[in-house]
């Protein structure tokens, strides 16, 4: 029988219910509890998902205690880098990006993954038909940008240009994850008359409707597609500009959904009920939540994460 999403039906909480939690600060406007509890209900698994605000000093005890008790969860800002050292078995995505946003217990060991990588890959596959050989412009050099570069490398993108306000941070990203195909642009003027198959915004710009555009698409000769990792109930200014120019574009809602689906699959070892999760996100966004940066577990992003 399908479980009630408010747990007021035939299957109330009990001593054996598995507890999963989002750990971060802030977490009060996270959409992850709405999405994941809808998934648990649809899949008829015995779990509950909550958001817990915690500071850095509490992270280790909460993360490892939840996992050891048979639960698990997500990690969002500002703790995703700190979480890397708290898991026993990090995936290759964690090791490569230096960030962990999902944790669980398996075979007596605490495992950690960065589902932003898989979430971004799945979202891109909805937007476009593959990125093999694509020329890419990446805006930003934080946590979400790291996940993006990992996908570009794995999936055979061609030349990747990174533009970030702090050039040294972009160089660090290129050095950590890039190769000869990843180049850092020194200044915005380097974009003039550029041609790109894909433009990805992995910055904070767009969280506030008054933010300037992270890039003026009018200055580029051609853009094939645009992915904006910022999510708003209404389209972001960047997505709006892209669609006005006839560019296929998508905001960060799909990445939020897909990284959450990947996390569900790690915890429960079964396919995620993505349509139920999508319906929950579309119908239950908290009033006044505004924009979201979709790095980690739907937390507003400071670095891209």
Among all residues, which ones are annotated catalytic?
A: 80
- Residues ≥6 apart with Cβ < 8 Å to 215: 137, 139, 163, 188, 191, 199, 201, 238
- Residues ≥6 apart with Cβ < 8 Å to 266: 72, 102, 104, 111, 113, 115
Distance CA 200, CA 198 (A): 7
The C-alpha torsion from 247 through 251 and 254 to 259, rounded to 10°, is: 120
- Comparing C-alpha atoms, which of 305, 124, 123, 301 is closest to residue 211? 301
Please tell me what DSSP assigns to residue 2.
Answer: P
Dig out the tokens for 273 from the structure: 């009920």
């Amino acid at each position: 029988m399908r479980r009630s999403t408010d747990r007021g039906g035939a299957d109330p909480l009990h001593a054996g219910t598995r507890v999963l939690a989002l750990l971060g600060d802030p977490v009060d406007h996270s959409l992850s509890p709405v999405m994941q509890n809808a998934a648990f209900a649809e899949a008829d698994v015995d779990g509950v998902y909550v958001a817990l605000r915690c500071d850095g000093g509490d992270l280790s005890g909460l993360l490892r205690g939840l996992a050891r008790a048979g639960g698990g969860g997500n990690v969002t800002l500002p703790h995703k880098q700190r979480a890397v050292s708290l898991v026993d078995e990090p995936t290759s995505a964690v090791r490569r990006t230096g960030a962990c946003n999902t944790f669980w217990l398996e075979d007596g060991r605490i495992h950690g993954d960065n589902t932003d990588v898989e979430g971004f890959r799945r979202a891109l596959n909805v937007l476009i038909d593959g990125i093999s050989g694509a020329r890419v412009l990446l805006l930003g050099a934080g946590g979400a940008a790291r996940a993006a570069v990992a996908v570009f490398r794995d999936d055979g993108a061609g030349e990747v240009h990174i533009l970030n306000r702090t050039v040294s941070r972009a160089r660090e990203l290129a050095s950590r994850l890039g190769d000869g195909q990843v180049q850092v642009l020194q200044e915005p003027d380097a974009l003039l008359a550029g041609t790109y198959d894909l433009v990805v915004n992995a910055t904070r710009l767009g969280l506030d409707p008054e933010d300037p555009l992270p890039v003026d698409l009018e200055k580029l000769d051609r853009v094939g597609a645009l992915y904006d990792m910022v999510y708003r109930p209404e389209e972001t200014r960047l997505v709006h500009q892209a669609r006005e120019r006839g560019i296929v574009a998508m905001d960060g809602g799909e990445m939020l959904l897909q990284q959450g689906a990947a996390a569900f699959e790690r915890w429960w070892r079964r396919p995620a009920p993505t349509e139920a999760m999508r319906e929950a996100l579309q119908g239950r966004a908290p009033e006044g939540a505004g924009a979201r940066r979709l790095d980690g577990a739907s937390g507003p992003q400071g670095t891209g994460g």
